[in-house]
């Protein structure tokens, strides 16, 4: 019996980590310091450092997690396709094309100014501005007035489909009628609203390097940014004037450490929870030990995450035969069995079993060394050339999988060399296409429109895919309103992706929720919705 099956059969509770204890913060965020009882400060363990604190540019999961502590979206999403009010009190449509959004009149920025419809319109127009570097354009591409990639035409300043009606009312018009959950999921849940009165003073070309994006001081969420010590910790302080209620915690620290230290600190009380979601990863080998700790809640849950090997599709030498050879050469089942002990599953494409459109009849390409050698020969690739595989630091199991992958690729004649880099560096390489092969995890959304990863111009198109057929298929599927027709379209997309192997889907790991029983709140089985009630989290004394 696999680990996941055993855990589910026992119905272990989701959550996990540590005694109700604080950490006195010296250099290194209290590492090795004596711990003292503290019920108003929460310490969270995370393996990946956040690449940005920019609400419109966070291509990695760690940055997305770090931003949500301090910026709110129009809607919260505690469960897949279940939406609750945040900045927006209501988000309604009568025809699936025209949407009216009413804002919470109590919502305000941390400098006391009200959050208005002008802020919402400004945020969307900023994202659509071709001069602004961001990772959000694919989330607004359904709007009337932007192109297929979510950009405004040259010389156009505003999106025609976004209209401010009054201080607390704004309307959105989509190009065609569209599934309301699609609009709510992207415009409502994935777009963080920024303060117009701060950001309008920044040159659009310099947004990424601006202080507002790197050290935000005017935000809207339950916690305010205090400081970031690179690759060590992030500090937040409660926003006592938060419009949904004063947070019960006074401070939150995200401590950045590897998987082994996550476990050690969890048991000792140095952290009270792990971040989960692919960025706070508890090594499978340590699960049994954590499960025996009476102070911890621990559970494995299927997740909208996957681990992938991206081959740079912009290199003509890495053609479809080469990509098929790479996938066929890797013994992915060995990775799942040896490293994850059953707490992961093979997936044939980017789509994972948690997705509503996952087609289980589309099976992974089988592991076959001899066939891989044949495909490699047919690809015409010069095997005397060295190939560099970039591996991000932090996720111990991913680093271990790199060794197995390297061995398998060498077995078919590829000269593969590993280079390990920190996660922000890897993301920079991925976005620029400055790599040959990378290992990377994708945090996936509930809506199956993953064109952001495969369409030219998509901010997360790390594989630099440029295939007219998959582009057309994905753009058409995104606009369908009938759920059954849409599911069928994504089934065809999965079949085509299996054939083309734009990326090698290695496995979809379950994520481990581990936290102290003293923490009320914390990580949810639907990881993306975990912070929806952050202001209500509390730590109780023993």
pLDDT for residue 37: 54
- Supply the pLDDT for residue 477: 92
DSSP strand E in 69-188: where?
75-79, 82-85, 88-93, 98-103, 162-166, 169-173
Give residue limits of the domains in the chain.
3-70+221-301+511-539, 75-204, 305-509
| Burial (0-12, 13-18, 19+ Cβ within 10 Å), 346 | middle
- CATH class given for the domain over 305-509: alpha beta
Q: What is the mean pLDDT of residues 408-428?
A: 94
SS3 assignment, position 417: strand
The CA–CA distances, whole Å, from 408 to 33, 367, 413, 488, 540 equal 43, 10, 9, 35, 50
Instruction: Report how far Cα 49 is from the mean position of its chain's Cα atoms.
Output: 13
DSSP state at residue 73? B
The predicted structure's pLDDT at residue 22: 35
Q: What crossing angle do the helices spanning 320-329 and 483-500 adopt, rounded to 10°?
A: 90
Dihedral angle at the C-alpha atoms of 427, 432, 434, 437, nearest 10 degrees? 50
pLDDT at 334 over 60: yes
The pLDDT value given to residue 279: 86
Q: Does domain 75-204 have CATH number 3.90.76.10?
A: yes
pLDDT score for 15: 33
pLDDT number for residue 103? 98
Phi, psi for 329 (deg, rounded to 5): -75, -20
Is 520 in a helix, a strand, or coil? strand
Higher-confidence residue of 164 and 2: namely 164
CA 383 remoteness from chain centre: 35
Percent of the chain whose predicted confidence (pLDDT) is above 90: 76
- Helix (H) and strand (E) counts in the chain: 15, 21
What's the pLDDT tens digit per position in 245-296? Answer: 999 999 999 999 988 899 999 999 999 999 988 788 787 888 888 999 999 9
* CATH H superfamily, domain 3-70+221-301+511-539: Periplasmic binding protein-like II (3.40.190.10)
User: The tokens 């369409």 sit on which residue?
Assistant: 455
Tell me, yes or no, if the pTM score tops 0.85: no
Q: Which of 283, 441, 446, 419 is nearest to 356 (CA)?
A: 446
Residue 314 half-sphere exposure toward CB, CA atoms < 13 A: 15
Arithmetic mean of pLDDT, 214-236: 96
Give me the chain's average pLDDT, please: 90
Quick one: pLDDT band at residue 542, thresholds 50, 70, 90? low
Cα–Cα separations (whole angstroms), residue 423 to 233, 335, 420, 430, 505:
15, 21, 9, 10, 19
Instruction: For residues 93 and 58, give the distance between their C-alpha atoms in angstroms, rounded to a whole number.
Output: 30
């Amino acid at each position: 019996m696999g680990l996941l099956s055993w855990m589910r059969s026992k119905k272990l509770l989701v959550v996990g980590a540590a005694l109700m204890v604080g950490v006195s913060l010296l250099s290194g965020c209290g590492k090795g310091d004596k711990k003292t009882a503290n019920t108003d400060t929460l310490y969270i363990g995370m393996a990946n450092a956040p690449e940005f604190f920019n609400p419109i540019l966070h291509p990695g999961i760690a940055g997305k997690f770090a931003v949500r502590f301090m910026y709110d979206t129009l809607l919260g999403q505690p469960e897949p396709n279940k939406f609750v009010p945040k900045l927006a009190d209501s988000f309604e449509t009568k025809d699936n094309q025209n949407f009216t959004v009413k804002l919470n009149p109590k919502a305000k920025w941390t400098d006391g100014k009200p959050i208005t419809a002008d802020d919402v319109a400004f945020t969307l127009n900023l994202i659509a501005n071709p001069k602004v570097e961001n990772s959000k354009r694919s989330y607004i591409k359904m709007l009337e007035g932007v192109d297929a990639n979510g950009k405004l035409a040259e010389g156009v300043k505003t999106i025609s489909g976004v209209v401010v009606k009054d201080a607390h009312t704004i309307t959105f018009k989509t190009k065609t009628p569209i599934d309301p959950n699609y609009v709510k999921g992207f415009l409502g849940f994935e777009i963080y609203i920024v303060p117009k009165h701060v950001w309008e003073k920044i040159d659009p070309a310099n947004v990424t390097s601006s202080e507002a994006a790197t050290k935000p001081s005017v935000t809207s969420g339950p916690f305010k940014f205090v400081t970031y010590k690179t690759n060590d910790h992030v500090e937040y302080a409660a926003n006592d004037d938060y419009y949904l209620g004063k947070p019960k915690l006074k401070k939150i620290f995200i401590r950045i450490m590897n998987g082994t230290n996550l476990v050690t600190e969890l048991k000792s009380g140095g952290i009270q929870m792990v971040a989960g979601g692919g960025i706070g990863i508890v090594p499978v080998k340590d699960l049994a030990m954590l499960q025996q700790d009476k102070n911890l809640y621990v559970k494995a849950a299927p997740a909208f995450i996957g681990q992938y090997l991206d081959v740079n599709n912009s290199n003509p030498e890495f053609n479809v035969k080469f990509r098929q050879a790479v996938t066929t050469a890797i013994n992915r089942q060995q990775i799942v069995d040896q490293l994850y002990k059953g707490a992961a599953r093979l997936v044939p494409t980017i789509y994972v079993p948690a997705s509503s459109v996952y087609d289980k009849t589309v099976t992974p390409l089988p592991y076959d060394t001899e066939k891989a050698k044949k495909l490699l020969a047919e690809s015409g690739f010069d095997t005397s050339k060295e190939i560099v595989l970039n591996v991000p630091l932090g996720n111990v199991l991913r680093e271990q999988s790199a060794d197995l992958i390297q061995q398998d690729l060498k077995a078919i004649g590829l000269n593969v060399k590993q280079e390990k880099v920190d996660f922000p560096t890897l993301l920079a390489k991925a976005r620029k296409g400055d790599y040959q092969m990378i290992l990377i995890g994708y945090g996936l959304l509930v809506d199956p429109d993953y064109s952001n990863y495969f369409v030219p111009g998509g901010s997360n198109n790390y594989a630099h895919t440029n295939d007219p057929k998959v582009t057309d298929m994905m753009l058409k599927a995104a606009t369908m309103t009938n759920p059954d027709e849409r599911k069928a379209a994504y089934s065809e997309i999965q079949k085509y992706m299996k054939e083309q192997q734009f990326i090698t889907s290695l496995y979809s790991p379950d994520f481990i929720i581990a936290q102290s029983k003293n923490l009320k709140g914390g990580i949810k089985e639907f990881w993306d919705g975990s912070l929806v009630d952050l202001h209500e989290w509390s730590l109780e004394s023993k």
